[in-house]
Chains A and B, each alone.
Chain A
């Protein structure tokens, strides 16, 4: 694997074109267990604190069979926070490539979805969607721990996504 940013962009385009894993297949492979790797891609750390709050006795993420691991190689799901700064594009892509399949990517917070208050900045992309293939988007600034739990369970098909109210 080459190390230039150009190759990173090409690889990200290939990742976007790859067939998407269906929730049924994910549930078949993972059962009710889910291991998360949290990736900070230029976050202000508000989302990261909410993720940390998931592990406290109030929210107790482990009771749901979900846990946080220390390496993308051990993870089923990449929980990405932050706007995807230019300096972290390659690191984010490497983290994604290091994950075994089936793998999921969750965009956490307004920054990871659209750039949030930093949208249009020269130093970052507007969200992680242009670098990683995102499976679930969790709005919020930051999303509350309840919203994060909902998003994680949506990713593995254990909860229903927010309904889109069409006009």
Chain B
């Protein structure tokens, strides 16, 4: 009985509410959560391995820029796994809502490497 009282009454009182404080503070996500993919523009050599690996053809690569359509991206990290330079990483950023369809396309200039 006392253990029950402790677990069901006291512990929640000490712990505080479980409800996330999310819009007020940054979301607390699990470490494995996959968000916005970013490319290290210095390490990218425009090999196009990510383009071939992407299941939804969300990535386009030119000599100048690495372009990702977030509206197509399924956050599977196949691009990060395929990149021979290890230049792509999925960040924990998940708040990606946009007002315009075109704004969902993120572009990163490629500065280093060069194929």
Instruction: Provide the residues of chain B in CB contact with A144, threshold 8 Å.
Output: 27, 29, 33, 94
B55 at the interface (CB under 8 A from A): yes
Are A138 and B96 within 8 A (Cβ)? Answer: yes
**Inter-chain contact B22/A167, CB cutoff 8 Å:** no
Q: Tell me the complex Cα distance, A57–B69, Å.
A: 33
Which residue of the partner chain A has the closest CB to B64?
A167
Which of B3-11, B82-90, B99-107 sits within the interface? B99-107
Of the candidates A57, A59, A114, A154, the one whose C-beta lies within 8 Å of that of B99 is: A154
Interface residue tally for chain B (C-beta within 8 Å): 37
Given A110-B73, A134-B101, answer yes or no on A146-B19 (Cβ-Cβ < 8 Å). Answer: no
**Considering the complex, which residues of chain B in the window 1-47 have a beta carbon less than 8 Å from any beta carbon of chain A?**
18-20, 22-23, 27, 29, 33
Measured CB to CB, the closest approach of chain B to A151, in angstroms, equals 3
Given contacts A58-B18, A58-B19, contact A164 B56 (CB under 8 A): no
Q: Is B53 in contact with chain A by the CB < 8 A criterion?
A: no
Q: Are B71 and A147 in contact (CB under 8 A)?
A: no
- Asked if B52 is an interface residue, CB under 8 A from chain A, the answer is no
Q: Which of B57, B75, B104 contacts A137 (CB 8 A)?
A: B104
Whether A165 contacts B107 by the Cβ 8 Å rule is yes
A146 and chain B: residue at smallest CB distance: B27
Residue A139 at the chain B interface, CB threshold 8 Å: yes
Q: Is A164 touching B33 in the complex (CB atoms < 8 A)?
A: no
Q: Give the residue among A137, A138, A147, A153 with the most B Cβ atoms within 10 A.
A: A137
Q: How far is the CB of A82 from chain B (nearest CB, A)?
A: 14
- Chain B residues close to A by CB (< 8 Å): 18-20, 22-23, 27, 29, 33, 55-57, 64-65, 69-76, 94-109
The 4 A-B residue pairs with the shortest CB-CB distance, nearest first, are A151-B97, A113-B71, A141-B74, A146-B27
Interface residues in chain A, defined as those with a beta carbon under 8 Å from any beta carbon in chain B: 57-60, 63-64, 110, 113-114, 116-117, 119, 127, 129, 134-141, 143-144, 146-147, 149-151, 153-155, 158-159, 161-162, 164-167
